[in-house]
Amino acid sequence: MLEHRKKTLLQKTLKLIYQLYAKITWAIFDAVFHLLLRPPPPPKKIRSVLHISYISHKPHMLSRAMKNYGLRSAYLALCAESNYLKMGKKGYDWNLPGQNVIERKILRPWRIFYLFVRYLRHFDVIHYHFASLLDEKGREIPYLKQLGKVIVFHFRGCDLRQRSLNMRQNPYLNCCMHCDYPLGSCETPRQYLRIHLAQQYANCLFVTTPDLLDFLPQAEHIPFIAPVGVEWEKIQPMPKRKNTFRIVSSTNHPGIDGIHYIRQAIQKLQKENPSIEWIVLQKVPFDQTLRWYKSADLYVGKLLMGYYNNAHIECMALGVPTMGYIRKEFQTPDCPVIPITPKTLYKELKNYLSQPQTLANIAQQGPAFVHRHHHPTKVVKRLLEKYSQALSSPF
């Protein structure tokens, strides 16, 4: 009991010391900011964009696509030392470390100040992905606004999604039903703070899939960007035995993606047809993942979220037919993703296994669909249009 009290007292003392330390360091930054930094004249057009995110392929690809389009664009990664992009090269321009307590609590404010003076103040747009703030309380954002920056919050999933709301609005089927994130990953003070900061400061609010509009109706759905710098025709498919029908799924979180439903349906089919092979990809390097996709006769994934994801886009670009759960209100006539639910999966799999030509026809529609809706240049143009609108009508 005494040891517990001592530990609790120590934790409270350290917390107070850190709060005082943070208050002093940001007071220093505030003084330096107002003494040395003056808001520049507003740019006539958007010329530069800085993407900020925990390590991920999409901010990396988006920054590169913008470079290819002629913008000055860069990617500032958070905690990249604890992960990396397995793409054959470093996938970010700068990193803000944060793997240990010293980095997060002591050094981070000073690193933020350096990044602010050295890089952030020179970009027209600050584009946050996954609500990845430099400071845990977003204390850098008001200073960016004072410098006239266009602030963008781009929510990409469970950074915005809230279980209780999802269960109320979509009680029969949603990706929170079997969530395998650690308890307390959503509906926390940390999540609510980030959403509040986005609503308070952002010029643009984006979501990557339309189901996320359930949680932030005033946001706008911006489609996923197709992979940048991938030479699709040069991808070599993984070897496969003759007369095998290969179904591929991929997941980072099996519960959220409904992998157990896929397993049940395929195991039932395999008893009827032993030539069916099922490959589940988890934590596989990106280049190898694409090789597995190209070897697939069918991709099945995302049975709970209500929309298709990056894996579907990559498979469609490779000419592989795909299945996934898409809510009726999000289905469009030109989308070649075969809509299924956990209840219809077995029936639909059995149906399409007997119709190879129909599957082939669906597969042929994939590349054109990806080009129409997810081509990097089209996504960049749309974002640039939104940035420009925000620049001409700041709040």
Q: What is the DSSP string of 290-346?
A: HHHHHH-SEEE--SSSBS--HHHHHHHHTT--EEE-B-GGG--TT--SEE--TTTHH
Stated length of the chain: 395
pLDDT of 87: 41
Q: How far is CA 291 from the centre of its chain?
A: 22
Read off the amino acid at residue 164. Answer: S
Which residue carries 């470093």 as its tokens?
90
Q: What tokens appear for 34 in the block?
A: 């107002």
**What is the mean pLDDT, run by run of 10 residues, along the chain of 395 residues?**
68 85 92 84 93 91 96 92 53 86 88 94 97 95 95 97 96 94 91 97 98 98 95 96 96 96 98 96 93 98 97 98 98 97 97 96 98 97 97 77
Residue ranges of alpha helices (H) inside 150-279 are 163-169, 189-201, 254-257, 259-272
Q: Which of 21, 45, 38, 56 shows the shortest CA–CA distance to 224?
A: 56
pLDDT of 206: 98
Q: Which of 58, 40, 117, 39 shows the shortest CA–CA distance to 383?
A: 58
pLDDT of 122: 94
**β-sheet bridge partners, residue 129:** 154
Can you state the angle between helices 259-272 and 345-353, rounded to 10 degrees?
A: 40
* Other Cβ atoms within 10 Å of 381 Cβ, number: 12
List of E strands, the chain: 48-54, 72-78, 94-96, 125-129, 150-155, 204-207, 220-221, 245-250, 276-281, 298-300, 322-324, 338-339
pLDDT of 332: 96
* Beta carbons of 94 and 112 less than 8 angstroms apart: no
* Beta carbons of 345 and 262 less than 8 angstroms apart: yes
Sheet of 322-324: strand order equals 276-281, 245-250, 298-300, 322-324, 338-339
Q: Is the dihedral of CA 295, 297, 300, 306 positive or negative?
A: positive
pLDDT of 86: 44
* Beta carbons of 86 and 123 less than 8 angstroms apart: no
pLDDT of 60: 92
Question: Which residue ranges form the domains of the chain, and what is each CATH number?
Answer: 44-226+377-392 (3.40.50.2000), 232-374 (3.40.50.2000)
Read off the amino acid at residue 16. Answer: L
**What is the Cα–Cα distance from 383 to 376, expressed in whole angstroms?**
11
CB within 8 A of 350, min separation 6: which ones?
269, 272
**What is the Cα–Cα distance from 84 to 91, expressed in whole angstroms?**
7
CB within 8 A of 71, min separation 6: which ones?
46, 47, 48, 49, 380, 384
Q: Which of 67, 51, 33, 45 shows the shortest CA–CA distance to 144?
A: 33
**What is the Cα–Cα distance from 96 to 135, expressed in whole angstroms?**
10
Q: What tokens appear for 340 in the block?
A: 């299924």
* Other Cβ atoms within 10 Å of 205 Cβ, number: 20
What's the half-sphere exposure (Cβ side, CA atoms, 13 Å) at 127? 26
Q: What tokens appear for 158 in the block?
A: 């469970």
Sheet of 150-155: strand order equals 94-96, 72-78, 48-54, 125-129, 150-155, 204-207, 220-221
